[in-house]
Amino acid sequence: MSWIKVVGTGPGRYQDMTVRAIRALRDCDVVIGYITYINLVRDLVKDKDIIYSGMRQETERCRKALELASLGKKVSLISGGDPGIYGMAGLLYELAKKNVDTDIEIIPGVSSVSAAASLLGAPLMTDFASISLSDHLTPWEAIAKRLEMAARADFVIALFNPKSRERKDNLPRALDIVLKYRCSSTPCGIVKNASREGEITLVTKLGDLLKYDIDMTTLIIIGNSSTFITGGKMVTPRGYVL
């Protein structure tokens, strides 16, 4: 029987993949993915047909997966981190509408926000908001409103896609919004390439964030009003009386 499994490969290293993800890569006929994520699991899929494409070709990858499944293939569609968080799960369901018979399974993975948090210490711990600064698919006004509301309600804030070559201004604009409600000394974490080659983890303050080299592989976590730094780690207390 044919199927499509949307395989959350986690932050990148074998050790952070789930057993189910590894099995799906082992049991499929074809692996489809963005080249960067394919390269991270290449050792596991040596004997498979591999179809990769570049950035922003998500639609093509999903269509290809549906086409191959309709031809009887078992397809692993790779999604870095967790496929359900800014990943490939949604787009596949949107495109699958007419292919009602395709057997689709989403295999959850360790999201990059969980990986980044584990390296920084324990910055999430309580209520948090996850916001992507990419205005490629979401209008900036919607992003700005989310930043404003998240800052006002004292959510810990995880910023995905903080910067790319074409979008250099969104991060400073976002920080201007957050700084209206949150102190410049608020602890912040910067994680580049969380839990994979090239990993850089750094704890700093909200007011100093722009001094650092931030790009599209970076995830930023902004603490809430209770977040503190201890032994180099960023910790948001849950509220236990100790």
Please report, as residue ranges, which positions from 79 to 108 form the binding site for its own copies (by CB under 8 A): 82-87, 89-97, 100, 106-108
Between CA 220 and CA 194 the distance in angstroms is 11
CB of 11 to its own copies, least distance (A): 8
Between CA 146 and CA 151 the distance in angstroms is 8
**Cβ–Cβ contacts within 10 Å for residue 60, how many?**
13
Determine the 3-state secondary structure of 90 from DSSP.
Answer: helix
Residues in 32-51 at the binding interface with its own copies, rule: CB under 8 A: none
- Which residues does 127 contact at the CB level (< 8 Å), separation at least 6? 153, 155, 156
Q: Are 227 and 236 in contact (CB under 8 A)?
A: yes
Helix (H) or strand (E) holding 141: helix 140-152
> Using the rule CB under 8 A, which residue among 110, 177, 188, 190 binds its own copies?
110
- ∠ CA 116-120-121, nearest 5°, is 115
- DSSP-assigned letter for residue 134: -
CB of 211 to its own copies, least distance (A): 25
Which of 27/49 has CB closer to its own copies? 27
CB of 119 to its own copies, least distance (A): 8
CB of 167 to its own copies, least distance (A): 15
Span near its own copies by CB under 8 A; candidates 42-50, 112-120, 167-175, 185-193: 112-120
> What are the backbone dihedrals phi and psi of residue 26, each rounded to the nearest 5 degrees, phi first?
-70, -40
Between CA 62 and CA 75 the distance in angstroms is 10
Between CA 52 and CA 11 the distance in angstroms is 18
> Using the rule CB under 8 A, which residue among 44, 52, 148, 202 binds its own copies?
148
> Using the rule CB under 8 A, which residue among 59, 70, 184, 185 binds its own copies?
59
- DSSP-assigned letter for residue 98: T
188 binds its own copies per the rule CB under 8 A: no
Please, what is the end-to-end C-alpha distance for the chain in angstroms? 55
CB of 65 to its own copies, least distance (A): 14
18 binds its own copies per the rule CB under 8 A: yes
Which of 68/191 has CB closer to its own copies? 191
Residues in 201-240 at the binding interface with its own copies, rule: CB under 8 A: 230-231, 233, 235-240
> Using the rule CB under 8 A, which residue among 121, 187, 189, 223 binds its own copies?
121
Span near its own copies by CB under 8 A; candidates 28-36, 40-48, 121-129, 205-213: 121-129
Determine the 3-state secondary structure of 137 from DSSP.
Answer: coil
> Using the rule CB under 8 A, which residue among 44, 50, 51, 122 binds its own copies?
122
> Using the rule CB under 8 A, which residue among 54, 72, 137, 211 binds its own copies?
137
